[in-house]
Structure 1
Amino acid sequence: MINVLEYLEETAGKYPNKEAFADENTSCTWQELQERARRIGSSLAGRTEPGKPVAVWMEKSVHAVAAFLGIVYSGCFYVMLDKKQPLSRIRQILDTLEQPLVIADGEQGKEREKLNQAGDPERGFQVLDYEVLEKKQADSNVLKEIRNTLTDTAPLYGIFTSGSTGVPKGVVVSHRSVIDFINYFTVNFGITEQDVIGNQAPFDFDVSVKDIYSALKTGASVQIIPKRIFSFPTQLLDYLCEKRITTLIWAVSALCIVSELKGFSYRVPDTVNKVLFSGEVMPVHHLNIWRQFLPDAMYVNLYGPTEITCNCTYYVIDREFEPGETIPIGRPFQNEKAFLLDEEDRLVEQPRIRGEICVSGTALSLGYYNNREQTEKAFVQNPLNRQYSETIYRTGDLGYYNEQGELCYATRKDFQIKHMGHRIELGEIEKAMEKAGNVSRVCCVYDEISGKIIAFYEGTAEKRAIVKELRELIPAFMIPNVFCRKEGLPITKNGKIDRAALKKSYQKELQ
């Protein structure tokens, strides 16, 4: 298999009239999805060079999926944009992508105005209406010509993550990486054409890649759950029951909404038989609530950053865990290798000794788009292999083996954190706060106990004014939960801000 379009075409051939994707407004069969994608691909062909990015400015929907696949038919790769992100961040992403073509829905208003403000027409920025692209007749000759030049190492999609320099990093993932991951992902967890996947993740978050491509590979149906109902557990559980959802591939925080608000006392979605979670550490207390009400379901702890195509390790829950115990992140997926290196780049194999989690294999991404410096820092030669070229990705996460030899996640090596299911660089928050008026110095720390981002700062600015500024600069999930104004920030003997002391002072105030 060379590209993911083969997934679509094989599935459309097997199940032409079966529902493929559905949102609250519309649905489509596999045959309809293929036809829409081919029309969009024909419309895009020739408008930009193959291998270039095309951005998508749409809500997550059936139409967005068709846009993604249409972009792939045109020989390009797609990047989903979040309409709710600040103008400055959208502009940074478009600049990194060199002002690409953008597919947008037909809605006008403030959101389209924001997009137009972020773009630079003099550099090639152009907005194309989805409805217009979809009306064009598919051109089989053009599409065939493009397919003949499409290799398995061609980029498939890009996802932007937080950057330590204050500039978002665009992770680019190839067809081959997705194929090698999804082929095993679906087999390992028994995902078939009989499944109904309940999509929770935004389409600019790589958890959604597992939903979309698991369905394309197997013929499973995907129900795109409206974001708003995650704020109302009773509505969410009604939805899961009424749509007869079987498979949840969700961020940990989304699962915890149901258990925290005692949703199962209202209704239990008894068709759910697979619960796969990732994004942050799953609290054992919440896992046990889910297992209490859905005891026969398979539960899987998934681990891995965007740079290695969704996940690199998995652990099928096979025993009881008590609060305070660590749930292992388990074994590597086939075609991937996960191992630990100490600070001297020596292999760590002994139990309870921490090392940096490193990954190699065919699922590694292509690196960061238009960012060679950051790519070369993270994607390096395996120091254990002196015989031939072997690229590994250094995750920046620390892990260890437990007494049973199972791989476990410990914490971040640097100041990058997992918060609300998102990977965040604290440095990006600090740089945004520095742009706020009357803030002279800032240091952000993450308190794992409370799960909060705390911003310590020097200056006269009030919290309300800082938050107002930050809403224009960074996504809502990156805005600190706590603001602490200080007369002076503590300094280590090396002249750096003492982050450990700041965190300790916050935890002491909580006691």
Structure 2
Amino acid sequence: MFAPAAETFPLTAAQRDIWLDQISRGDSPLYNIGGYLQLTGPVDPANLHRALEQLVAAHESLRTVLMPGAGADGLPLQSYAAVMPLTLPLHDFSDHPEPTRAAQALVNDYMRRPYALDGSPLLDFRLIRLAQDQHWLVGQAHHLILDGWGFGQLFKSLGELYSALMAGECLELSAPGYRAFIADDAQYQASKSYSLDKAYWLEKYRELPEPLLVSRYHNRRATDPAPSHVRMKQFAERHNASAFHVLLAVLHAYFTRTAQRDEWIVGLPLLNRNGARFKATLGHFAQVSAVRMAFADGLDFGALVVEVGDALKRDFRHQRFPLSELNRSLELSREERAQLFEVSVSYELEDHDYCYGEAEAHTVKVSNGYEATPLAIHLRTNSYNDDAALHLVHHRAWIEDAEAQAIAGRLLHILEQGLESPTLKLQDFHISAPAEQLQIQAWNQTEKTAADEQLIHRRIEQQARIRPYAVAAVYQGQHLTYAQLNRQANALAQRLIYQGVRPDDRVAIVSRRSLETLVGLLAVLKAGAVYVPIDPSHPRERLHYLLSDSAPVVVLTLSTLIDRLPPLAMPLIELDHSADSQGADNNPQVAGLSSDNLVYVIYTSGSTGQPKGVMVEHRTLANLVDWHCDAFDVKAGSHTSSLAGFGFDAMAWEVWPTLCAGATLHLAPVQDSGEDIEAMLNWWRAQPLDVSFLPTPVAEYAFSQDEEHPTLRTLLIGGDRLRQFVHNRRYAVVNNYGPTETTVVATSGQILANGSLHIGGPIANTRVYVLDEQLQPMPVGVPGELYIGGAGVARGYLNQPQLTEERFVADAFSDVEQARMYRSGDLVRWNADGTLNYLGRNDDQVKIRGMRIELGEIEAMLASLEGVKDAVALVRDLQLLAWFTETSAVDTDALSPAMRARLPGYMVPRAFTRLASLPLTANGKLDRRALPDPDPAYLLGQAYEAPKSEVEIAMAAIWARVLGVERVGRHDNFFELGGHSLLAVNLVEQLRKAGLTADVHALLSQPTLAALAAWQNDAQAFKAPANLIPPGCARITPQMLSLVSLEQSAIDRIVASVPGGAANVQEIYPLAPLQEGILYHHLAAGDSDPYLLQPQFAFADVSRLNAFCDALQRVIERNDMLRTALFWEGLQTPVQVVWRQAPMLVQETALHDLFNAPRMDLTQAPLLHLVYAHDPANHRIAAVLRYHHVIMDHIALDVLSHELQAVLLGNEASLVAPVPYRN
């Protein structure tokens, strides 16, 4: 540490922002910058050292000394040491077997060592020898004293000084000192220009575009060679622009297309060295400008490049205004959106070639391994050969490694297209790289030759001829052979024809699963007509609508269901009283019937509240049959099942492939009181099935109960989103997806335990497209809307030509004339293996404060909280609101903090309203318009809870004064009350003046009043004597215990209770008084335990459960108390034992046993266990975190939740070091 000079200076605006961010991140190397010079030729280390000393003497910024807390409101000041000696250590790797690899490892390690901002030097150099004439001169500095441009100038000036010394000359360097820029910066902030610039930026961002990237989860680098830099510059010159404008135009084309939005924001680093005055001054000048990329629709690439240049020119006049001031003025929430942009772009001269005496030198930049921005794009050029390299540095919280590599390739492909075709419109660019396009085309090569016979009933007639006595169907002990099925269907078909039924006439079947119903379905087809299956359990009003809209010429039903029907104007035939075998051997011949005729109309839910009838033709059903029989080896002798509800399109999938193949169909019993899942599964297990379909929720329930099937070969699931699949079964599990409009199944694929819960790839003769709003393909991994083309696309909607035209659109990707594709409204993305991931409905997404959210995710999280039964979320009057029903009493004031611990702040509803039941429409759907308005008091914020302890009361008064608010409650969040980083420094300073312990890092990690007060109480605790038990200790002796006195025999008994023995014991010390009381009640309670707590959690799938457990284990490793066990047997006073390693117990159980907690063994750490169970009915994994109150209270639980969130988001470096409980 160096003594500061007498004269002191404030930090510039840019320096202040770096300092604030650095202290908020703790010991992070985020602001380490530097690299190395590759020196080829003779090097004199002594002269190099002298040149370095001359350089430091010439530039005062390199001698910066920070003075913590010396400025106003707790900010530091800076001064410049008169002399700052600098060493130049030499690392000799010339004898190393791999000198370059060893040198690179040293450099990388060196760049990751953080600086202390306590007045110590902020600059460091070292020399690495790889061979006699090969050296690396490594330089590193904190960004506070140097920027990227400055480093280039530093190496240039150092080379000049060194060369002069080698020539026996003396070189004088002259440049304005950094203090001149400090004065210039202060003058600007007090000027009219500052006010005008501020007004410009605030107007520009009066309304914020939504974020471009959404956090997912380290930082990595992807590098790709760029096309010749010469072509970029030539293109730019023709458009009166720069190569940088061309790069930004490429990014605009990519991000607007992939994010499907019109505008986005990019961060552009600026030199901020106005004029020539400070060009040679070393110091931190750089700033970042937030450029709003919003341009007119329909621009071609050349015009876009010009528009980008014009936009930058407009911004350039105001570029000096600090970005941090803009963030604060816009009141960006640190929790929701701490920065305006997620992507930064720089255009850099990568290689400066210098002469160091007789040695040639060129620079190599080195990353510190940390990247705060989700995606940083650097186009780095070489000044000698005009080549360029595109570097992408990304944070894995947002972008995975493979995705970054793919983005780089796509950007280069867009650039090539733009350079080749300047008049190409943005919407016409191919966003996917050529290899991706070919891969997607390959995944859609599903062509299979169609069978000769396309009429479904004729295939069944053929089975009746070939195997008349084979069993076609079984139902409750009765069966039909193929001959019987065919004869009975012939008889009924003749009756329908007699009634005047013709091709494409509709015949409604209001029925249930039964042999008679099966006969009726086949008879309708034989008559050339179209069956319309209708579930008799529908409300009378819906039955009336379905019969009215479908306008059947005949209605078929069972005699037991007639009373449920509305009055009918058309003939009615009772299926169970229509048996007539006369003339039944003759198959009806219907003239003009072809595969283009309709086979059925099935009604699905409509967005208007009224169902819509989907018209499916014989040829599309035949394609489903052919694919199914081939894919799942269904043939004569196979056994399948039918459990799907009548009127559900899956029933067609169960019935027709089986009968067309000559297999046996087992029909599940019908239950009048609704489907009993247990009874259904009991029946299912008893059938000798080879292939079977179960609706996804039923299958998930079977998985959760570990249900197996003795004969099943393949289980098909579908109809709902699969939430979890954690154990492989003895049979294959195939997930299927398909709207009714694409004939039941469009994609299909086998899933494996703990793998991707994908929906498979396209089935035979089907093509699937992931498209943007302009119907252009999206690259692999990028979400888009799913469109389905090929042989399965239905004719359209009955009686709704306008809706048909809207949803069934021309397939521009097909070579087939007049081919159509169906717009599903579902969001999906391609996986790298050719499967698709289902992401939800397109219309389930809304925006809150510019952030895109899915209401379903919020509803699922709210429903997972203890006591909550049903949950609904929606946006009303720009407010995110929630309603819920209960299974047990719920404290509405506790819901917001519980949600905040699990979701980002912008996804936490402003108000929660308790309902006795959810309002429903007449057709049984949720009536969102009938949800009552919330209590206005709740919209004002969380219920106020007054500070309790003396520390909380004192802190609350200071918070209120600094934030300018009337009062501060225990659970109020500093940043939600309007706090920001500058006010945080001011607050910490005021707390210190009041005799309270605090620092900015602690405030950032403990932002509520109660949490910060608890932290400060810990920080003020007495300084305990040092722990004397060394790591790896073979035996612990009494002299090693600094906080408790124990005999050797007692220590040995304690150690014997710890797995791993003495080597796994970190420390032993007494219980606190409160802990002694808890232990007393624990021992007195017998089999029960009043201090065992069980907060409830829910997870969408196994991967999220595993991530949670991994993060929780990391929190356990950070906190001594979470690795603590108790020991009391044979001791006068109980003690607590801190283990060095304490793996958390994670255990699966049955759902009904989830809360049946056994008594916890307090002698075995950690005293928190996670128990989970699969909950298929609610599409989740339910879990409880069992922990004992002896190690954690509710404040500690808040801290644990905060640390968990930080670890899960990859922000562990931002956490303040925990205070050991021993203190």
**What TM-score do the two structures reach when normalised by structure 2?**
0.33
CA contact (8 A) 1:303 1:314 kept: yes
Which residue does the alignment assign to 1:9?
461
Q: Contact (CA 8 Å) 2:659, 2:665: kept in 1 or not? A: no
Q: Is the 8 A contact 1:94 1:100 kept in 2?
A: no
User: Deviation digits for residues 283-331 of structure 1, max 9, x if unmatched?
Assistant: 22xx334x2xx32x122111111100011111123x4425xxx422222
**Which residue number in structure 2 is paired with residue 269 of structure 1?**
709
- 1:126 to 2:571 alignment: yes
Correspondence for 2:527:
74
Asked if structure 2 preserves the Cα contact closer than 8 Å seen for 1:454 and 1:484, the reply is: no
Q: Which amino acid aligns with 1:188?
A: A
The CA deviation at 1:210 is 1.5
Is 1:138 equivalent to 2:583 in the alignment?
Answer: yes
Query: Which residue of 626, 629, 635 corresponds with 1:186?
Result: 629
Shift of 1:388: 4.5
Superposition pairs for residues 39-188 of structure 1, below 5 Å?
A: 39-50=491-502, 51-107=504-560, 111-115=561-565, 117=566, 119-121=567-569, 125-135=570-580, 137-138=582-583, 143-144=588-589, 146=590, 148-188=591-631
From 806, 811, 822, give the equivalent of 1:393: 822
1:283 maps to which residue? 723
Q: Give, in angstroms, the shift of residue 360 of structure 1.
A: 1.0
> Residue 248 of structure 1 contacts residue 275 of structure 1 at CA under 8 Å; is this kept in 2?
yes
Residue 247 in structure 1 maps to residue 247 in structure 2 = no
The 1-side partners of 2:843 and 2:571 are apart by 39
Q: Secondary structure at the match of 1:339?
A: strand
Q: Does 1:338 align with 2:771?
A: no
> Which residues of structure 2 form unaligned runs of 5+?
1-452, 846-854, 865-869, 877-912, 940-1098, 1100-1181, 1183-1200, 1202-1223
CA distance in 2, matches of 1:98, 1:202: 22
Higher RCO (CA-CA < 8 Å; seq separation 6+): 1
- Residue 368 in structure 1 maps to residue 797 in structure 2: yes
Q: Retained in 1: the 8 A contact 2:493–2:526?
A: yes
2:645 pairs, out of 183, 196, 202, with: 202
Contact 2:749–2:761 under 8 Å retained in 1: yes
Q: CA-to-partner distance for each residue in 1:431-468, whole Å, 9 max, x for gaps? A: xxxxxxxxxxxxx978355596738799x99856945x
CA separation of 1:99 and 1:70: change in aligned 2, threshold 3 A: closer
Q: 1:407 to 1:455 in 2, by over 3 A?
A: closer
8 Å CA contact 2:632, 2:691 repeated in 1: no
2:811 matched to which residue of 1? 382
What code does the residue aligned with 1:304 have?
Answer: G
Q: 1:62/1:479 Cα in 2 relative to 1: closer, same or farther (>3 Å)?
A: farther
Q: 2:743 aligns with which of 300, 309, 316?
A: 309
- Cα distance per residue 1:239-285 (max 9 Å; x no partner): 2343222222121011123233x263xxx32111111111122222x
| CA-CA distance at 1:197 after TM superposition | 1.0
Offset at residue 112 of structure 1 (A): 2.2
**Kindly tell me: are residues 129 and 149 of structure 1, through their superposed partners in 2, closer, same or farther at Cα, counting changes over 3 Å?**
same
Partner of 2:1002: none
The separation in 1 between residues aligned to 2:931 and 2:555, in whole angstroms, is 41
Quickly say closer, same or farther: Cα 1:173–1:453, change in 2 above 3 A: farther
1:430 alignment counterpart: none
Residue 212 of structure 1 corresponds to 655
Q: 411, 420, 425: which one pairs with 2:840?
A: 411
Change (3 A) 1:314 1:456: closer
Q: Which amino acid aligns with 1:76?
A: A
CA gap of 1:308–1:488, structure 2 versus 1, over 3 A, is farther
Matched residue SS, 2:541: helix
Deviation at 1:186, TM superposition (A): 1.1
Relative to structure 1, is the Cα distance of residues 386 and 200 closer, same or farther in structure 2, using a 3 angstrom cutoff? Answer: closer
The equivalent residue for 2:270 is none
Residue in 2 that maps onto 1:321: 754
Mind listing any 5+ residue stretches in structure 1 that lack a counterpart? 417-443, 492-506
Does the CA contact (< 8 Å) of 2:786 and 2:823 recur in 1? yes
Pick aligned residue for 1:29 from 481, 488, 507: 481
Paired residue secondary structure (2:781) = coil
Structure 1 residues 69-78 or 6-15, which shifts more? 6-15
Please give the secondary structure, in 2, of the residue aligned with 1:288: coil
Q: Is the 8 A contact 2:513 2:668 kept in 1?
A: no
Q: Structure 1 residues 386-395 or 5-14, which shifts more?
A: 386-395
Q: Deviation string for 1:359-384 (max 9, x for gaps)?
A: 11121111111111111111111245
Task: Report the residue type matching 2:775 in the other structure.
Answer: D
TM (normalized to structure 1)? Answer: 0.77
* 1:457–1:486 contact (8 Å) kept in structure 2: no
Q: Aligned equivalents of 1:190 and 1:181: distance in 2?
A: 14
Q: CA deviation at 1:61?
A: 1.0
- The structure whose Rg is larger is 2
Q: Measured at CA, do residues 100 and 412 of structure 1 come closer, stay the same or move farther in structure 2, by a change above 3 Å?
A: same
Amino acid aligned to 2:754 = F
Deviation of residue 401 (structure 1)? 1.4
Instruction: Give the letter for the 1:62 counterpart.
Output: L
Structure 2 CA distance for partners of 1:15 and 1:389, relative to 1, 3 Å: same
- Cα RMSD after superposing both structures: 3.4
SS at match of 1:135: coil
Equivalent position SS for 2:583? coil
SS at match of 2:488: helix
Task: Provide the secondary structure at the position in 2 that maps to 1:257.
Answer: helix
Superposed CA offset, 1:158-187 (max 9, x none): 110011122210011111101112111110
Residue matched to 2:850: none
Q: 2:701 aligns with which of 254, 257, 267?
A: 257
Q: 1:453 to 1:68 in 2, by over 3 A?
A: farther
Shift of 1:59: 1.7
Cα gap change, 1:100 to 1:456, in 2 (>3 Å)? farther
Q: Which residue of 2 aligns with 1:354?
A: 783
Farther off after superposition, 386-395 or 199-208: 386-395
Determine the C-alpha separation between the residues in 1 that align with 2:587 and 2:608: 41
237 and 487 in structure 1: CA distance in 2 versus 1, 3 angstrom threshold: closer
Judging changes above 3 Å, is the alpha-carbon distance between structure 1 residues 57 and 405 closer, same or farther for their aligned structure 2 residues? closer
For residues 69 and 14 of structure 1, what CA distance do their matches in structure 2 show? 18
Partner Cα separation in structure 2 for residue 281 and residue 380 of structure 1 = 26
Structure 1 residues 258 and 143 mapped into 2: Cα distance closer, same or farther (>3 Å)?
same
> Aligned pair in 2 of structure 1 residues 132, 386: CA closer, same or farther (>3 Å)?
closer
